[in-house]
C-alpha cells in the first residue's frame, strides 16, 4: 500500500514525432489508452533510442496511483484534489456496475507528442500494474473546476477497467456505451471534489431522459436517421464524424433506457455477460448471424425480443420534445461525413504526406459549431448539471444553411487535398 504522500521518480521517455491524425477529440476531452495486462509493459521496456528524461511526480493511495510529468504538474493542492477525485471516480464506476477492481489503477499523463510505447517504466507499482490509464493529451487539470470536469472522464475510463473484469474485448458499442452511461450519470449526480451527491430517486428518474445521449437519439429518430438496433449494437470505431458521435451516444441512450425501464440489476447483468466481439462490426446484422450471442444477451436479460425492445425504446424517445435545432444538428453531423476523412487520411498516409493543420482546425471548428447550434435541446437539463443551453446570442450567427454551406466548402477542400496527395 502506498502512503498518502508525494514522492519523486524518474521515467525515461523518448520523444516521438507528433503523428498527424484526425485531430478531433470526438467525445472526450483527452485521448486515453487502457492497458489490461502487463504484456504491454514488457514491450515498452524494450524500446531503444532514449533521447530525454521526463521526471514524474507520483502521488497515490491503495486505490489509485497518479504519475504526472513535472513540467506540466499542478500544485500539490491540486494533485491531492486530483487523487481524491480519481479515487471517488473509481468508486463511482465500481458502485455503478456492482464490480470492484482488486488492484490499484495507475493513471499516467504523457507530455505532448509522447506515446505509451515510448515510456520505460521504473520498477515498482507502475511496471506491475494490471489496470492502467494513459492520458496522451499533454495537459493536466490545473484548477478545481478543471479537476471537476476531468472527473467525468475518469469515470468513463475507469468504467472500461471495471468492464474488463468480465470480458477481454467486447463490442465497441457496448464498451463505449456503458462507460459513457456511467459518465453521464456521474455528471448528473454532480461528482465533484471527492464527494458524490446522489440524485434523489424521483429526480434521477426525471433527469435520465434529458441526458445528451437521449436528446441525440430522439433527434436522430425524428430525423429518420437513427440506425436499427442491430446495427447500433455492432457499431465500430471509425474516422467518420457521424459514426463516432453515434457510437458514443446512441448505445448509451439504449442502455440508459434499459436501466430506467428494466432496472439496474438487468443493466449490470448485460454488463457482466457481454460476449466477445464476433463477426464484422459496424454492419447491419440479422438474428442468426455471427452476432447472435450479442443479441441473445439482450433478449435473455430483458426478457423481450430485440425488435420489441427497439420498439419500446423508440416509443420512449418519441415522447421527448426535441427542438428543430437539435434535429437539424444531427442531420448536419451526418452530412459532415461527405468530407470523408477516412479516404483522405488513407491517401495521405499512402503517399507519405501530412494533413494540412488548417484543414483540421476548420473541421474541428465546424463540428463544434454544429453541436453548439443544436445545443438548445439542453435547455431542459437538470438544475445544477454541467451542461447548459446556449444563450441566444451564442448561436444567433449560426444557421442550418450557413453550416451546410461550410460542409460543402470543407468537402471540396478535402477533395482537393486528396487529389494533391497523388500529384
For the whole prediction, is pTM greater than 0.85? no
What is the DSSP pairing of strand 119-120 with strand 64-69? unpaired
Mean pLDDT (whole number) for 309-326: 92
What per-residue confidence (pLDDT) applies to 355? 84
Residue 307 has pLDDT above 50, yes or no: yes
- Secondary structure of residue 41 in the 3-state scheme: helix
- Secondary structure of residue 58 in the 3-state scheme: strand
Q: Which of 275-289, 295-309, 322-336, 388-402 has the lowest mean pLDDT?
A: 275-289
Indicate the DSSP class of residue 53.
Answer: E
3-state SS record for 68-129? EEHHHCCCHHHHHHHHHHHHHHHHHHHHHHCCCCCCCEEEEECCCCCCHHHEECCCCHHHHC
pLDDT in tens, 98-150: 999 998 999 999 886 666 555 554 444 444 456 889 888 889 999 999 999 99
Mean pLDDT (whole number) for 281-309: 80
Q: From CA 12, how far away is CA 133, in angstroms rounded?
A: 18
Q: How many CA atoms, within 13 angstroms, populate the side-chain half-sphere of residue 275?
A: 15
Task: With cut-offs at 50, 70 and 90, classify the pLDDT of residue 321.
Answer: confident
Query: Would you say 153 and 179 are in contact if contact means Cβ atoms under 8 Å apart?
Result: no
Query: Would you say 152 and 211 are in contact if contact means Cβ atoms under 8 Å apart?
Result: no
Residue 14 has pLDDT above 50, yes or no: no
Task: With cut-offs at 50, 70 and 90, classify the pLDDT of residue 317.
Answer: very high
- Residue of higher predicted confidence among 97 and 374: 97
Tell me how far the alpha carbon of residue 119 is from its chain's centroid. 24
Domains of the chain are 1-165 (3.30.2010.30), 168-322 (no CATH), 324-421 (no CATH)
- Residue of higher predicted confidence among 270 and 212: 270
Query: Would you say 36 and 109 are in contact if contact means Cβ atoms under 8 Å apart?
Result: no
State the chain's maximal CA–CA distance in angstroms.
Answer: 62
The percentage of the chain sitting over the pLDDT mark of 70, rounded to a whole number, equals 70
What per-residue confidence (pLDDT) applies to 18? 28
Amino acid at each position: 500500500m502506498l502512503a498518502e504522500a508525494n514522492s519523486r521518480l524518474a521515467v525515461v521517455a523518448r520523444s516521438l514525432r507528433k503523428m498527424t491524425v484526425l485531430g478531433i477529440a470526438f467525445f472526450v476531452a483527452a485521448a486515453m489508452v487502457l492497458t489490461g495486462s502487463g504484456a504491454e509493459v514488457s514491450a515498452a521496456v524494450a524500446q531503444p533510442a532514449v533521447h530525454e528524461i521526463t521526471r514524474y511526480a507520483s502521488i497515490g493511495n491503495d486505490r489509485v496511483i497518479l504519475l504526472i510529468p513535472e513540467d506540466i504538474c499542478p500544485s500539490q493542492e491540486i494533485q491531492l484534489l486530483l487523487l481524491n477525485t480519481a479515487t471517488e471516480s473509481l468508486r463511482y464506476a465500481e458502485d455503478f456496475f456492482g464490480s470492484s477492481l482488486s488492484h490499484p489503477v495507475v493513471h499516467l499523463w504523457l507530455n505532448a507528442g509522447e506515446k505509451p510505447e515510448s515510456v520505460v517504466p521504473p520498477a515498482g507499482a507502475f511496471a506491475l500494474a494490471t489496470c492502467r490509464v494513459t492520458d496522451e493529451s499533454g495537459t493536466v487539470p490545473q484548477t478545481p473546476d478543471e479537476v471537476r470536469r476531468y472527473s467525468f472522464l475518469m469515470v468513463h475510463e475507469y468504467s472500461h477497467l471495471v468492464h474488463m473484469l468480465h470480458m477481454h474485448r467486447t463490442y465497441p458499442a457496448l464498451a463505449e456505451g456503458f462507460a459513457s452511461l456511467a459518465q453521464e450519470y456521474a455528471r448528473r449526480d454532480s461528482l465533484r471534489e471527492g464527494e458524490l451527491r446522489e440524485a434523489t430517486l424521483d429526480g434521477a428518474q426525471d433527469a435520465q431522459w434529458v441526458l445528451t445521449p437521449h436528446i441525440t437519439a430522439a433527434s436522430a429518430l425524428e430525423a429518420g436517421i437513427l440506425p436499427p438496433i442491430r446495427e447500433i449494437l455492432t457499431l465500430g470505431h471509425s474516422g467518420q464524424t457521424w459514426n463516432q458521435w453515434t457510437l458514443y451516444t446512441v448505445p448509451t441512450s439504449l442502455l440508459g433506457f434499459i436501466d430506467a425501464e428494466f432496472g439496474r440489476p438487468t443493466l449490470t447483468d448485460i454488463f457482466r455477460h457481454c460476449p466477445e466481439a464476433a463477426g464484422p462490426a459496424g454492419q447491419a446484422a440479422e438474428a442468426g448471424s455471427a452476432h447472435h450471442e450479442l443479441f441473445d444477451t439482450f433478449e435473455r436479460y430483458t426478457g423481450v425480443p430485440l425488435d420489441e425492445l427497439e420498439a419500446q425504446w423508440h416509443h420512449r424517445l418519441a415522447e421527448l420534445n426535441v427542438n428543430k435545432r437539435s434535429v437539424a444538428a444531427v442531420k448536419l453531423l451526418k452530412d459532415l461525413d461527405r468530407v470523408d476523412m477516412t479516404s483522405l487520411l488513407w491517401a495521405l498516409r499512402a503517399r507519405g504526406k501530412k494533413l494540412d493543420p488548417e484543414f483540421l482546425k476548420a473541421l474541428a471548428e465546424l463540428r463544434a459549431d454544429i453541436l453548439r447550434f443544436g445545443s438548445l435541446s439542453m435547455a431542459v437539463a437538470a438544475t445544477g448539471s454541467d451542461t447548459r443551453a446556449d444563450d441566444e446570442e451564442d448561436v444567433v450567427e449560426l444557421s442550418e444553411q450557413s453550416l451546410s454551406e461550410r460542409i460543402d466548402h470543407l468537402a471540396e477542400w478535402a477533395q482537393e487535398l486528396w487529389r494533391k496527395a497523388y500529384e
